[in-house]
Amino acid sequence: MSSTPPVHALSKAQIFDLAVRARAAGTYYDTKQPALEEDFHGSLDRFCDIALAFRECRRVLDAASGNGLLPALLKLLGHEVYAVDIIDHRATELYRRHQIPFQICNVEADPLPFADASLDGVSCSQALEHFTHSHLPPVLEMSRVLRAGGVLEIDVPNAVSLRNRSRMLRGKHITWDYREHYLYARPIVYNGREFYPIRHNREFTKAELELLLREAGYVEYDVRFLRDRRVRGGARKLQSAASALRDALPALRKSLIAVAVKRDRPAAG
């Protein structure tokens, strides 16, 4: 990385505790919003992995930032955070609460509104599976705005998870409802191209995510299977025991996470 001091020196467990305490104090997000509550309980463990990877990344961008829970956590940790998404979140309470600069940007089609090598970290969390066209151009664009030594984080659903294997064995498909999201899906037409972001267009295997990074020019990366941990209390903690059993075989976990470091290519000759 670099010789600059880290933004924070917290462990994953400490990041998790900070987020839980901020939620309880009402400083993280409005717990009266069911969608945010569901995302917090289902995604916090993954967010902590991302925050840990970004400890030395001061200026970070969350590309396809969604409801804003991840950039809000990064802001709580002391990062200088930016966000872009195809959906306009400028008036969303969570972005205003944490004063996160937001710009509308179709990550799949638009250039990111940042100069070359101007950011220390870029995250793209649970978004690539919604992209309609090739994943390579947007990943190359994310790389463009990263400085040398900067960190790219991508996490996506695991196509061969236990959940997906179980569905196929029961005669069900792994993707979204066929009638609603495929037979009668209406595209978003953007700059003359059609996009279908309200569905999973492609889930990933570990080998495919590694291939994407290599084709984007990365030689230093780590791709692994994410544990499926939810924030649970009371009797619902028994469900965590069941998740732990499923997580015992990494290849069956629900999601993959990739952390890659951008390195300058050596000069020719």
Model confidence at 240, in pLDDT bands (50, 70, 90)? low
Which of these CATH numbers, 3.30.70.60, 1.10.10.10, 3.40.710.10, 3.40.50.150, describes 12-164+205-261?
3.40.50.150
Answer whether residue 191 shows pLDDT above 70: yes
Cβ-contact 85, 67 below 8 angstroms: no
Q: What is the mean pLDDT of residues 212-216?
A: 98
Confidence of residue 5 (pLDDT cuts 50, 70, 90): confident
Which residue, among 110, 109, 26, 104, has the nearest Cα to 72 in the 3D structure? 26
Cβ–Cβ under 8 Å, residues 105 and 192 = no
Could you give the 3-state DSSP secondary structure of residue 4? coil
pLDDT tens, position by position, 28-59 = 999 999 999 999 999 999 999 999 999 999 99
Please tell me the total number of residues recorded for the chain in this structure: 269
Residue 247: predicted pLDDT? 79
Cα separation, 25 vs 4, in Å, equals 32
Instruction: Give mean pLDDT, residues 201-213.
Output: 98
Q: Where are the domains of the chain?
A: 12-164+205-261
Tokens 């619902």 appear where? 236
pLDDT band at residue 248 using 50, 70 and 90 as cut-offs? confident
